[in-house]
Amino acid sequence: MLAYLIRRLFAAAVMLVVIVVVVFCIFFLVPRWAGVDIASSFVGKQADPAAVAAVREKLGLGDPIHVQVWEFFRGVFAGRTYAAGGEVTHCAAPCFGYSFRSEQAVWPVLTDRLPVTLGLALGAAVLWVVVGVAAGVLSALKRGSLWDRGAMVVALAGVSLPIYFTGLLSLAVFAFGLDWLDAQYVPLEQSFTGWLGGMILPWVTLAFLYAAMYARITRATMLEVLGEDYIRTARAKGLREHTVVGKHAMRSTMTPLLTMLGMDLGALIGGAILTESTFNLPGLGRAVLDATRNQDLPVVLGVTLITSLAVLLANLAVDVLYAVIDPRVRLA
């Protein structure tokens, strides 16, 4: 078990390095290959070469790419000292550098915005797992019933609706039309009820899509599992129906769902970008969207690293949970 964990953590570390290198490549090699000079895009359209060179030096864009990647990692673990144009600034570890645009340190931006996205993601995840799995199991048990059909129609609609459309619809109906909620984000520290009120629509909107997917998968898996021999055996030996379903069938149904959950929690940054744009939430998704538009590499790197770390940890947790749920899986 310990050896397994160490190996997985090592693989995760390699993956993080690969991701950082890829982000660097996207921002440096793609423009170069396409004949665009990044430094000049920070100065303006008719910049004189001296200004462009100054920007290039200040942002460290002149160094070869492997030096930049190395400096970035050293900054994260050991801090980094910037000396450009006579000024010396020290940035303590974990140093994610300074934004190209606002010149603020990136790390505080990340720690500021992470709670918003984390709150959005976790709240929505709880909602969609509970609702999606419950709806799927009920549909499977009452296959062909009115409930089953209704739930599956709603689920099919759910996977076909873009988040930002459901988001806008819910804003128009619940925040504007019925005036039930105030569609304004309030930080948790300020007021719990205000935060809750502001987060309900984003949670429901984001969870709707995933709940629909989970309901469909749960139903299909459950139906398949219920046809297995061991379920018949369990029934034959006189177990009560809810033990058969709740204990025997659920265990097998959970395995693919767990894998999905690990992957979805990771991919959630995509959903977060869209949800945060629709509801104007100041989270990581917004930060990274603005940063990519401005080619603000340090911010993009920071957010990517944090979210990728979350993906990898979520997947690791899922694989460990596997061993708990499915005794056939041995981690070694």
Partner 1 sequence: MKAPSPEPPVEAAPDVPAETEVSSSDGAADGTSVRGRSLGRIAWERLKSDRLALTGGIVVLLLVVVALLAPVLTGIVGQDPETHHEDLINPLFGTPTGSLGGISGDHLLGVEPVNGRDIFARILYGARISLLVGFLSAVVAVVLGTVLGILAGFFGGWVDTVISRVMDGLLAFPQLLFIIALVSVMPNDMLGLTGSSVRVFVMILVIGFFGWPYIGRVVRGQALSLRTREYVEAARSLGAGRRHILFKELLPNLVAPIIVYTTMMIPTNILTEAALSFLGVGVKPPTASWGQMLSRAIDYYDSDPMYMVVPGTAIFVTVLAFNLLGDGVRDALDPKGSR
Distances, alpha carbon 47 to alpha carbons 41, 61, 62, 99, 293, in Å: 9, 17, 17, 21, 20
Please count the other Cβ atoms lying within 10 Å of the Cβ belonging to residue 299. 27
* Rounded least distance, CB 75 to partner 1, Å: 20
Is residue 218 within 8 A of residue 137, CB to CB? The reply is yes
Rg of the chain on CA atoms, in Å = 24
* Minimum CB distance to partner 1, residue 191 (Å): 24
Query: Which CB, 139 or 221, lies closer to partner 1?
Result: 221
Looking at beta carbons only, is 73 or 164 nearer to partner 1? 164
- Nearer CB in complex with partner 1: 82/163: 163
Q: Which residues pair with 89 in a beta bridge?
A: 82
Minimum gap (Å) between residue 307 Cβ and partner 1: 5
Query: Between helices 65-78 and 2-33, what is the axis angle to 10°?
Result: 140
Q: How far is the CB of 239 from partner 1 (least distance, A)?
A: 25
For tokens 């959005």, the residue is 120
Give the span between the Cα atoms of 320 and 63, in whole angstroms: 41
Give the nearer residue to partner 1 in terms of CB position, either 99 or 255.
Answer: 255
From 101, 90, 74, select the one nearest 20 (Cα to Cα).
74
- Give the span between the Cα atoms of 42 and 51, in whole angstroms: 10
> Which of 114, 97, 99 is CA-nearest to residue 309?
114
DSSP 66: H
Instruction: Provide the minimum distance between the beta carbon of 300 and partner 1 in the complex, in angstroms, as a whole number.
Output: 6
Q: Considering the complex, what minimum distance in angstroms separates the CB of residue 83 from partner 1?
A: 28
Classify 80 as helix, strand or coil: strand
Q: Nearer to partner 1 by C-beta: 244 or 260?
A: 260
Chain contacts with partner 1 (rule: CB under 8 A): 15, 18-19, 22-23, 26-27, 30-31, 34-36, 156-157, 159-162, 164-165, 168-169, 171-172, 176, 216-217, 220-221, 255-256, 259-260, 263, 266-267, 269-270, 273-274, 277-278, 288-289, 292-293, 295, 300, 303-304, 307-308, 311-312, 315, 318-319, 322-323, 326, 329-332
Contact 109, 299 (CB under 8 A): yes
- Cβ-based nearer residue to partner 1, 91 or 290: 290
Comparing CA positions, the residue from 261, 297, 271 lying closest to residue 209 is 271
* Shortest reach from residue 325's CB to partner 1, in Å: 10
Nearer to partner 1, 93 or 157 (CB): 157
Tokens 């001296």 identify what position? 50
Contact 195, 161 (CB under 8 A): no
Tell me how far, at minimum, the Cβ of 152 lies from partner 1, in Å.
10
- Minimum separation from the CB atom of position 176 to partner 1 (A): 4
Closest to partner 1 by CB, 223 vs 239, is: 223
Within 10 angstroms of residue 175's Cβ, the number of other Cβ atoms is: 18
Cβ-based nearer residue to partner 1, 82 or 218: 218
